[in-house]
Amino acid sequence: MFKRFWPKFSSELGIDLGTANTLVYVRGKGIVINEPSVVAINTKTEQILAVGNEAKSMLGKTPPHITVTRPLTNGIISDYEVTEKMLKYFIDKVNEDRFTFINRPKVIICTPLEVTEVEIKAVEDATIAAGAREVYVVQEPMAAAIGARMPIQYPVGNLVIDIGGGTTEIAVISLSGVVTWKSTHVAGDEMNRNIMQYAKEVFNLYVGESHAEQIKIKIGSAIPITEKMEFPMRGRDVMTGLPREVMVTDENIREALARSVNTIVEHVKMTLEITPPELTADIHERGLLLTGGGALLKGLDRVIARAAAIPVRVADDPLTAVVRGTGGLLEDTDLLKEVALPSARVSR
């Protein structure tokens, strides 16, 4: 009998468990957590020292006994124990004002398209172990489409390009299901590595990943922009080992990112090539939707639109489209049952 009243007392959460960032949506409150998927661990004591923003600020700055790690690789759990502790930290943070014996929430959590049954089970097990009472797994592009209010339930073609930290996923959705899709590991993190490699090859400078990401955000673009932009690139000289700074332009960074941008464009074209003609016609009429952090790269929508000869629009607040989609599913249990992946656990 108590089970009937449990939802009235416990939270209902939607979690976008991303390679770069984890976002948490609480039903009735909206997005309450948006922090990096980074954990700092004391290897001597095996204790978690910091999670999220605090842990990310430690990257590249720790003594030998402290390890700063990202427990997800390409959207998939690569370190189960650390992922469980990170999820527990975020769930406890959401429920810190509730009684501990009734705070086990219902959780909707997102995974990439290219995920195996074993990996789905790892996500479910980690979420249950972190304190959830039940868990539903939803594909990220599906959640992004719902977050952008696309009519996924109807026999209409919807094409979503979700560019996250670890993966770029292009999915054609119709009748609450993914019809065709392509996935590549060329995404936000790879773009950061492009800038780091470019700095080494062109400027003989070792640059940290966090600084490369900052440069990408500040002056990164996919097409020439009207106003020339510059930003200081700081790092360690390859030859002397001493600190050095050079001014880089938007043209430099555009050159560094060109390979990744071209790879994403090619995957969009490959997805369209294997899409049924009737859905292609719908997509041509309705356009493509660009979501995820990579959607914020200046001019990327125009590059894709030019290559595919189809209009492209960027979702409102593309960084939060996926987690807002989980919020929509928390309100619509019938749609949740349609789009949730089959559980890999013995029972829910």
Question: What CATH number is given to the structural domain containing 95?
Answer: 3.30.420.40
Alpha carbon 85 to its chain centroid, in Å, reads 19
Based on the domain organization, do 133 and 199 belong to the same domain? no
Q: Which domain holds residue 157?
A: 151-186+261-316
Based on the domain organization, do 241 and 108 belong to the same domain? no
How high is the mean pLDDT in each 10-residue block of the chain (348 residues)?
Answer: 49 92 94 94 90 90 91 91 92 72 82 92 94 94 95 95 95 96 95 97 95 96 92 96 96 97 97 95 95 95 96 95 96 95 74
Based on the domain organization, do 124 and 54 belong to the same domain? yes
Q: Return d(Cα 120, Cα 138) in angstroms, integer.
A: 10
pLDDT confidence of residue 98: 57
pLDDT confidence of residue 279: 95
Domain membership flag for residue 347: no
pLDDT confidence of residue 95: 80
pLDDT confidence of residue 226: 86
Residue in 28, 348, 74 with CA at minimum distance from that of residue 187:
74
Based on the domain organization, do 53 and 19 belong to the same domain? yes
Based on the domain organization, do 81 and 10 belong to the same domain? yes
pLDDT confidence of residue 1: 44
Which of 257, 284, 303 is a domain's end point?
257
pLDDT confidence of residue 97: 62
334: exposed, middle or buried (C-beta count within 10 Å: 0-12, 13-18, 19+)? exposed
State how many domains the chain has: 3
Based on the domain organization, do 137 and 216 belong to the same domain? no
Domain membership flag for residue 344: no
Based on the domain organization, do 310 and 274 belong to the same domain? yes
Based on the domain organization, do 122 and 162 belong to the same domain? no
Domain membership flag for residue 44: yes
pLDDT confidence of residue 348: 44
DSSP 343: P
pLDDT confidence of residue 221: 96
Task: Identify the residue whose tokens are 């954990």.
Answer: 39
Domain membership flag for residue 348: no
Based on the domain organization, do 300 and 222 belong to the same domain? no
Strands (E), 129-215: 134-139, 158-163, 168-174, 177-184, 205-206
Cα 109 to Cα 14, 139, 166, 264, 305, distances in angstroms: 6, 9, 17, 25, 31
Residue count of the chain, please give it: 348
Q: Return d(Cα 104, Cα 132) in angstroms, integer.
A: 5
Domain membership flag for residue 345: no
Domain membership flag for residue 253: yes
